[in-house]
Amino acid sequence: MEDEDGGSEEAVLVRRHRKEKKELQAKIQGMKNSVPKNDKKKRKQLTEDIAKMESELEEKHKQEVTDLSEKQGDETEVISVTNGVSGLDLGNNVPGQQMRVSKAQKRREKKAALEKERDERIAEAEIENLSGARHLENQKLAHILSQRQMQIKEIPSDGHCMYKAIEHQLKERDNMITLTSLRRQTAEYMLSHRNDFLPFLTNSTTGEMYTPDEFEKYCTEVANTPAWGGQLELRALSHILQTPIEVIQADVSPIIIGEEYPNSPITVLYMRHAYGLGEHYNSVEPLSVTPAE
As a whole number of angstroms, the distance between CA 154 and CA 169 comes to 12
Residue 143 annotated as catalytic: no
- Cα–Cα separations (whole angstroms), residue 193 to 64, 185, 215: 52, 12, 12
- How crowded is residue 98: how many other Cβ atoms within 10 Å of its Cβ? 7
Q: Which residues contact 170 (CB under 8 A, 6 or more apart)?
A: 176, 177, 241, 266
Residue 161 annotated as catalytic: yes
- Catalytic, out of 5, 74, 89, 158: 158
- Catalytic, out of 160, 161, 239, 273: 161
SS3 state of residue 178 = coil
As a whole number of angstroms, the distance between CA 189 and CA 175 comes to 19
Q: What is the DSSP letter of 140?
A: H
As a whole number of angstroms, the distance between CA 221 and CA 228 comes to 9
As a whole number of angstroms, the distance between CA 268 and CA 172 comes to 13
Residue 174 annotated as catalytic: no
Residue 235's Cβ-side half-sphere holds a number of Cα atoms within 13 Å equal to 9
Which residues are part of the catalytic machinery?
158, 161, 280
